[in-house]
Structure 1
Amino acid sequence: MKILVIVPAYNESENIEKVVRSLEQCETKVDYLVVNDCSTDNTKDILENIGANYINLPVNLGIGGAVQSGYLYAYENGYDIAIQIDGDGQHDPAYIGKLIKPIVDGEADICIGSRFIDKEGFQSSALRRFGINFLSLLIKLSCGIKVCDVTSGFRATNVEFTKLYAKDYAQDYPEPEAIVTGVMNGARISEVPVIMREREGGESSIKSFKSLYYMIKVSIAIVMKRITVSVGRKK
């Protein structure tokens, strides 16, 4: 199977080379594409110097736009499975084989790598875990599906949902909303346990002072996505 790993990157100069090297040494045979989202540091120079496979976006699109660009590339180039991982080094490519197995076996359309199943490795802060649990409950109430790690950026899709995300992907803090989009379009979603690492360098896009804004915005987005897709299907 043709497998593409999508790596959105914005100002990841401290991490991106390590991420690329780990993908190049991955036991599962994969191609990868780093989507450089107009980084203002020297991420682009590092990618060029190490001979990485990457594209530069002409304008900064944010995490959602960068990931969607990768899905579009995957769909247009005939990949059977698209995987997204963060450019900060938190996601270990050693779990890629485990992540894609439910899709390869025909048991799932989307598979999410969850840090909360076995509860090993980096678990995030207590405040963020509370927020994740809240969003998990909201998605369960809205869509009838339980997903433990709704904000995990370590996930894989089959061709059908790669195509969907190439056309319809949330632009800002997209992971929870993407789950709702998938479920409302008939996706079978599974989770597999993974161990994540703490960011070694750089800065998270979700800073502490943005946490409340994040929760409000994503909560509204989840409900609105649920309503919008339902109305669209009735038409």
Structure 2
Amino acid sequence: MKKLIIIPAYNEGENLKNTIKNIQTYAPSFDYVIVNDCSKDNTRELCKTEKFHVINLPVNLGIGGAVQTGYQYAMENDYDLAVQVDGDGQHDARFLNTMADYLLENKVNMVIGSRFIEKKGFQSSGIRRLGIRFFTGLIRCLTGKKITDPTSGLRMADSEIIKMFAQNYPKDYPEPETVVSVIRKGKRVEELPVEMHERQGGVSSISPKKSIYYMIKVSLAIIIECLR
């Protein structure tokens, strides 16, 4: 069973050492690849010095392009499953084996790590929680499926979804849109409880100014996906 961790990284030099250490400690059976999205900090130099497994993109593709690169790598190298783990230290590798076991034993196509099932660990800011609840309601209204944490980046996919995402993946804020896409194609999506942490360093890509654009863009993308 070949298992890959995809780590999209843009200016995550402060966090990558701890992220890789966490993986090596709690999920040593997983391979990993860092997708350096043309970072402007020391990410590239750090990966070279530490001999991390890395793909250095020649131009900045954004979070969607970086993650899709990881799925293309997974498909080309015949991985059986792949999971996205953010490079900012928010995701905990302690839950990866449980997610993999659940996916395989229950023949699920995608498993999402949700911080809101047991409500342990970092729960995000109040404003972001309101946005997440909005997307939960929108997705349930359009698909009939309740996803408690549709913006979670901690998502594990089987080989079918790997191929699907390698061929087509949204550029901006892709998590809610891709969940809807997978559900609409009749694939099984389930959630498991996880604990997340606050960002260990760096700056989030979703600034207060971008929040309005984020809500409008993602809402329209979800609706359009359901109308296809």
Query: Runs of at least 4 residues of structure 1 off by over 4 A?
Result: none
Match of 2:198 in 1: 198
Separation in structure 2 between the aligned mates of residue 221 and residue 215 of structure 1, nearest angstrom: 10
Query: Any idea what the Cα deviations from partners look like across 1:6-55, whole Å, max 9, x if unmatched?
Result: 00000001101111122122345100000000001111101111110000
- Alignment pair present for 1:187 and 2:191: no
What is the Cα deviation at residue 166 of structure 1?
0.5
Match of 2:56 in 1: 56
What is the Cα deviation at residue 142 of structure 1?
1.2
Separation in structure 1 between the aligned mates of residue 32 and residue 109 of structure 2, nearest angstrom: 20
Contact 1:102 1:190 in 2 (8 A): no
Is the partner of 2:26 in helix, strand or coil? Answer: coil
Query: Any idea what the Cα deviations from partners look like across 1:150-199, whole Å, max 9, x if unmatched?
Result: 00000100000111011111110000001011111111000000000000
RMSD: 0.9
Contact 1:139 1:145 in 2 (8 A): yes
Structure 2 letter corresponding to 1:24: Q
What is the Cα deviation at residue 105 of structure 1?
0.6
Contact 1:28 1:97 in 2 (8 A): no
Write out aligned runs for 1:34-53 (5 A): 34-53=34-53
Match of 1:83 in 2: 83
Identity %: 50
Match of 1:221 in 2: 221
Match of 1:233 in 2: none
What residue ranges of structure 2 are gaps of 5+ in the alignment?
A: none
Separation in structure 2 between the aligned mates of residue 92 and residue 225 of structure 1, nearest angstrom: 31
1:130–1:216 distance in 2 versus 1, CA, 3 Å? same
- Alignment pair present for 1:108 and 2:82: no
Is the partner of 2:134 in helix, strand or coil? Answer: helix
Q: TM-score, normalised by structure 2?
A: 0.98
Q: TM-score, normalised by structure 1?
A: 0.95
What residue ranges of structure 1 are gaps of 5+ in the alignment?
A: 229-235
Match of 1:29 in 2: 29
Match of 1:231 in 2: none
Structure 2 letter corresponding to 1:36: N
Contact 1:28 1:96 in 2 (8 A): no
Write out aligned runs for 1:118-133 (5 A): 118-133=118-133
